[in-house]
């Protein structure tokens, strides 16, 4: 048969935004022939991520990944975006790094003969972060370090502060993709970025207060209230901002803790010490990784209460998103405790969403799942929990919920 008729198609276009689905098709195969589909990307650190799946052409010589089941490989069954979410790093304990969102992430797709392994067709999916006309503005305003994303169009738009993980420097993908939905988003760094200290001894809430003021001053931002989205360590910062600062209307806390962690948090004359970990509760997995899920004690115990964030003071709406298989810490326990605190103070201003088999890093849709990696506060590789498919589905669901939440409470 002639290979020249075999085509690998990415629909509706080879170019799309990172959070969008694409349809992968192979046409021109011999009927019922087996074909292996492979995906590959190289991140900004040079780490290679790969996935593969075996398919069988239908009677017309076509494989449509939207409809056809994978018979084996990185995943099985009908998984329209399996070649993307199943991408796994060749270097263990690697999380996909995207430093700068001005360039797309390129995912190379190949169709190979199931018998000979010969490459039959290939195509590259350009997964972009910024819609046409979006502005990406590096921010060095007083102490504040970050990047501001302003969507195209008339505006004004609701404003959101995006905080990432401890030791995560600055992460732009989520902020830029959220800005595409009609928000002005400030991706805010707080450690180890430009001239910010690599290992700060404390964090000042005034820094975050300045960031909120800066965002509210932008002419494209409509007030009065600002949103916050945060994950992991910064979840506690988001809860602290919501509790102590004015003008916060809607806070998304993803797999966070309801107490301060890692280093002391200062605000004016208030000091919130970090919750002290119980080192003997750290387990080592069979593969030699640390499992720190149970390292942090119950923050509501008398001896730990100084670390609790007083979220009963907050006047905003909260969305707590938690993964039941989070092994970074027991985020379900912390979210339920936070919800109970609000309820005990007569506040029903929260929603808790749980994802059964998801792990710690709930990212934007189609971001490869990270099962283990370096932990900035622990200083070594740890397990993050979760199963790839369930984790991927959780990311899709949460992304919709985040947008609905911010539109409900900021866009009025």
172 neighbors 101 (Cβ within 8 angstroms): yes
Q: How many of the other CB atoms lie within 10 Å of CB of 248? A: 21
- Which two tokens mark 162? 């995006």
CA distance 120 to 2: 10
Asked if 232 contacts 197 with a C-beta cutoff of 8 angstroms, the reply is no
Using the CB atoms, write b or e for 119-145: b if 16+ within 10 Å: ebbebbbbbbbbeeebebeebeeeebb
CA distances 191 to 138, 194, 249, 271, Å, are 16, 9, 25, 19
What sign does the CA torsion over 356, 357, 359, 362 have? negative
Phi, psi dihedrals of residue 394, rounded to the nearest 5°: -65, -40
Quickly tell me which residue has 């115990």 as its tokens: 301
Three-state DSSP at 342 gives: helix
**CA–CA gap between residue 182 and residue 196 (Å, rounded):** 29
Contacts of 122-127 with CB under 8 Å at 24 or more apart are 122/8, 123/8, 123/9, 123/10, 123/14, 124/14, 125/10, 125/14, 125/16, 125/22, 126/14, 126/15, 126/16, 127/16, 127/17, 127/18, 127/366
Q: Which residues contact 4 (CB under 8 A, 6 or more apart)?
A: none
Nearest to 102 by CA among 183, 161, 173: 173
Residue pair 144/150 in contact (Cβ under 8 Å)? The answer is no
Closest CA relative to residue 399, chosen from 177, 236, 203, 194: 177
Active site residue 232: yes
Radius of gyration, alpha carbons of the chain: 22
What are the angstrom distances between the C-alpha of 298 and each of 236, 258, 271, 282? 15, 10, 19, 15
Task: Based on the residue annotation, tell me whether 408 is a catalytic residue of this protein.
Answer: no
Catalytic residue among 52, 74, 232, 392: 232
Clarify whether 291 is annotated catalytic. Answer: no
Q: Which of 64, 326, 372, 392 is catalytic?
A: 326
Of 360, 366, 375, 391, the active-site residue reads 360
Residue for token pair 């290979």: 3
Which positions are catalytic? 232, 326, 360
């Amino acid at each position: 048969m002639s290979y020249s008729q075999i085509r690998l198609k990415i629909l509706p276009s080879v170019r799309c935004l990172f959070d969008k689905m694409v349809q992968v098709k192979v046409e021109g195969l011999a009927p019922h022939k087996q074909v292996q589909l492979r995906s590959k990307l190289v991140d900004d650190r040079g780490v290679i991520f790969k996935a593969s799946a075996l398919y069988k052409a239908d009677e017309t010589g076509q494989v449509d990944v939207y409809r056809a089941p994978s018979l084996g490989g990185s995943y099985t069954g009908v998984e329209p975006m399996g070649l993307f979410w199943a991408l796994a790093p060749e270097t263990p304990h690697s999380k996909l790094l995207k430093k700068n969102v001005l360039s797309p992430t390129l995912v190379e797709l190949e169709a190979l003969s199931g018998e000979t392994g010969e490459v039959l067709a290939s195509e590259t999916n350009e997964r972009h972060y910024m819609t046409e006309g979006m502005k990406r503005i590096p921010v060095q305003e007083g102490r504040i370090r970050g990047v501001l994303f302003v969507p195209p169009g008339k505006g004004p738009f609701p404003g959101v502060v995006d905080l990432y993980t401890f030791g995560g420097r600055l992460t732009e993908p989520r902020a830029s993709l959220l800005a595409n939905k009609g928000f002005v988003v400030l991706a805010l760094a707080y450690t180890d970025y430009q001239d910010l200290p690599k290992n700060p001894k404390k964090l000042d809430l005034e820094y975050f207060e300045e960031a909120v003021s800066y965002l509210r001053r932008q002419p494209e931002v409509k007030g009065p209230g600002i949103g916050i989205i945060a994950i992991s360590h910064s979840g506690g910062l988001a809860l602290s901002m919501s509790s102590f600062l004015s003008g916060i209307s809607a806070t998304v806390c993803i797999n966070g803790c309801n107490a301060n962690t890692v280093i002391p948090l200062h605000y004016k004359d208030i000091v919130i010490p970090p919750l002290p970990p119980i080192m003997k509760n750290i387990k080592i997995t069979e593969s030699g990784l640390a499992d720190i899920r149970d390292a942090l004690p119950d923050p509501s115990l008398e001896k730990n209460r100084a670390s609790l964030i007083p979220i009963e003071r907050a006047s905003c709406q909260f969305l707590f998103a938690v993964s039941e298989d989070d092994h970074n810490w027991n985020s379900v326990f912390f979210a339920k405790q936070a919800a109970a605190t609000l309820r005990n103070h007569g506040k029903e201003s929260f929603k808790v969403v749980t994802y059964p088999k998801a792990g710690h890093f709930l990212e934007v849709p189609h971001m490869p799942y990270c099962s283990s990696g370096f932990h900035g506060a622990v200083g070594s590789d740890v397990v993050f929990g979760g199963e790839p498919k369930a984790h991927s589905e959780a990311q899709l669901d949460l992304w919709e919920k985040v947008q609905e939440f911010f539109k409900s409470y900021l866009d009025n």
